[in-house]
Structures are given as structure tokens and as C-alpha cells.
Amino acid sequence: MNVKHVSGLEALIQQSLKPIVREIDEQGVYPVQFLKLLGKHGFFGSADDSPAKLLKPYLALLEEVSSVCVSTGFSLWCHLAGLTYMRCGNSTYIKERILPAMVRGNNLAGTGLSNPMKFYAGLEPLHLKARKTQEGYRIRGTLPFVSNLAPEHWFGVIAEHCGQRLVAVVPCWAQGLTMQEKADFMALNGTGTFCCKFNDTLLPAEWILSEDADQFVLRIRPYFLLTQAAVGLGLIKACIAGMETSLDKQNGVNHFVEIQPEQVRENYLQLRDRLWELSGTTLDPHRLRPILEVRLQVAKLALTAAQGEFLYRGAAAYVLHSPANRRLREAHFMAILTPALKHLSKMLA
């Protein structure tokens, strides 16, 4: 991200995101207009850009947005993940007719791949089943949580058919798709999260990204994980700033807290350097371990950093919806976001 882009992003965050962070957390406001503004200002790249070319700019974008609001950073991650699916797919229709509007911010995307990621780690069966028809495929099943959705948005799905798996993108207005909003979480209610039920929903051939989802997931999973880690880094950066602001309060008593900002910062910088190092290499889908390790360590450090800030702030942090309280709740989201800490630990065992 060049200097002009950085200053432009800072201005957008100051003008269009910071004023509504409290509403996002307290009222579950979904910051769709801010997300679309990012596209209108060119932060999503072009329809012709490859995922590899966009990886570092996406990491910088996600970290900066997430340092202000993890809820918005997560919604942004969902959109960027959806764009990666579209770019990596085989559908000319999606690349020529749908993707251009997505990168311009005229429309947004989500990701329904939480269940498939658990499936590929041996944690649960696929929830969606497909049957072949003359028009394409029809799918049945339920995805309990899909985020960054609104009536016109699209999202990725993987369904099983005769022992094989296919991957597609589907619009929220598809016939046979019923959506119920989920907004009773301890944090991140402003993420456009829905339970999606498919009842013989038609997937025309042009919506199919690949009929070999196994290979498709191998290709996109490194991007999926690395960009998630950037969200966690943004949260850690904000927690460090909060600790440093409070370090000398009450005659310096926070110097006696076990978690100290200089150590958290050192670990943060090491993880950030490692993340950027990995993103600058050719991503080998069969050598996932270094990426899994970074993703795991970021989630763990987010918990530590958020707890540290909470302890430093004391009673002020115990007020519901205070910034330190919000970040503590956001850190626990990072720990259970697919792939969760236990999921990552299993894959690394």
C-alpha cells in the first residue's frame, strides 16, 4: 500500500468508521457503507489482479481497519475472501459479470466456508448436499453462520455430490434460500451474520467455481489463513496502544502486571514480520504448517494483549462496551473463529 493509499485509508477510517464503532458494538450496526467506500477508493484492486498480487495490500488494509474495529475488519475479511474465491474459480461469468462490481464496492461478498474448513480437518461432515440437474446443481442443507451478507450480496459454498465436492458462489436472493439473522453474540453483532438454509436451491453452471473443491481449497486456504491473521494483528496493535496509555496510571501500578506492553510489542512485531515474509513467497498449498503456526500464535497473542489492556484499565474496562471491554470480547472471537485455536492445534499435531 503506497503513501497516498495509506493517507487515504486513514482519512476514510477517521471520517466513516471511527464515529460509528460504538454503534457497531452496542447496536449491531452493519458498516456496509464504509466497506463499499473502500471499494470505491480502489482498496480491493481490480478484477484482473491475482490473489498473490493483492495479498500484501490486503494484509495492510485488514490490519489497519481491525486496529479500529475488529467487527468491521472481520466483515472486510469475509469480502476479501469471497473475492479470492471468485478470482481462483473457473467461472468466466463470475469473473466478468460479478467480480467487477465487487472490486468497485458496488456489491459485497461473504464466505460460507467455515463448515468445509472443519470438514477438511476431520472435525465435522459437510452440511450441504448437491444433486446434478440439467440446469446445474441443486443443494440442500444449512449453514448456521455466514457473515457479511445482505439481500444483494454473494457468498461461497461447498457441497457434496456422489462422494465428490463442488464449490460455488450463490447470491442471497437465490430461490430456495432462506436466511435468518443472528445477532445474539457477545461481540461482532454488526457483521451481517445469518443462518442460511438451502431447500433445493439451484446453482446454475455459471455459479460453479470448480467441481473439484478439494483442490480449490488447497489453493485458497493459505490466503484464507494469512488474511485472517492480519485481523488479529490489528487487534493486538490496538491493545498495545491501550496498555501504553495506561502504563503509568495510579502511580505506575501497572508495571507490576505480568503482561507488559514491550514484550507484547516484541512478539507482535515478530509475528507481523513472519506474516509478511510468508506472504512474499510462493504459497505452496502442501506446506501449510508455517502459516498455521502464525495464525495460531496471532490468536494466542490477541488473547494475551486484550487481557493485558483489560487489567491495565481496571474498573474502566469493566464497563460494558468500553474500548478495552470490546477488544477483550473481540479477542475471544479470534480464538474461536474458524479455524479456532483447537482446530489449529489439531492440524499442527
Q: pLDDT tens, 66-80?
A: 999 999 999 999 999
C-alpha cell at 274: 513472519
Bridge-based pairing of strands 109-111 and 154-161 is parallel
pLDDT above 90 (res 338)? yes
Q: What average pLDDT does the segment 184-192 reach?
A: 96
Query: What's the pLDDT at 283?
Result: 82
pLDDT above 80 (res 152)? yes
CATH 2.40.110.10 intervals, the chain: 111-213
Secondary structure E strands in the chain: 109-111, 129-132, 136-146, 154-161, 164-171, 177-181, 194-204, 208-210
Is-contact 75 35, C-beta < 8 A?
Answer: yes
Q: What average pLDDT does the segment 141-150 reach?
A: 98
pLDDT above 70 (res 50)? yes
* pLDDT-derived band at 6, boundaries 50, 70, 90: low
Query: What's the pLDDT at 169?
Result: 99
Query: What's the pLDDT at 3?
Result: 46
Q: What average pLDDT does the segment 284-304 reach?
A: 95
Q: What average pLDDT does the segment 121-132 reach?
A: 97
- In single-letter form, the type of residue at position 339 comes to P
Grid cell 490466503 is found at 223
* pLDDT-derived band at 280, boundaries 50, 70, 90: confident
CATH 1.10.540.10 intervals, the chain: 3-109
CATH 1.20.140.10 intervals, the chain: 214-348
Q: What average pLDDT does the segment 232-259 reach?
A: 95
Please state the pTM of the whole predicted model: 0.96
Query: What's the pLDDT at 1?
Result: 59
pLDDT above 80 (res 282)? no
May I ask the CATH class of domain 214-348?
A: mainly alpha
Q: Which of 324, 28, 21 is nearest to 187 (CA)?
A: 28
pLDDT above 90 (res 287)? no
Query: What's the pLDDT at 286?
Result: 81
Q: What is the percent of the chain with per-residue pLDDT over 90, rounded to a whole number?
A: 94
Query: What's the pLDDT at 5?
Result: 67
Per-residue DSSP letter, 173: T
Q: Using CA atoms, how far apart are residues 61 and 105, in angstroms rounded to an integer? A: 15
pLDDT above 80 (res 339)? yes
Q: Using CA atoms, how far apart are residues 180 and 198, in angstroms rounded to an integer? A: 12
Q: Using CA atoms, how far apart are residues 328 and 235, in angstroms rounded to an integer? A: 9
pLDDT above 80 (res 82)? yes
Is-contact 280 274, C-beta < 8 A?
Answer: no
Q: What fold is seen in the domain 3-109?
A: Butyryl-Coa Dehydrogenase, subunit A; domain 1 (1.10.540)
Q: What average pLDDT does the segment 61-67 reach?
A: 98
User: Average pLDDT over the chain, rounded to whole?
Assistant: 96
Q: Using CA atoms, how far apart are residues 74 and 193, in angstroms rounded to an integer? A: 11
Q: What fold is seen in the domain 111-213?
A: Butyryl-CoA Dehydrogenase, subunit A; domain 2 (2.40.110)
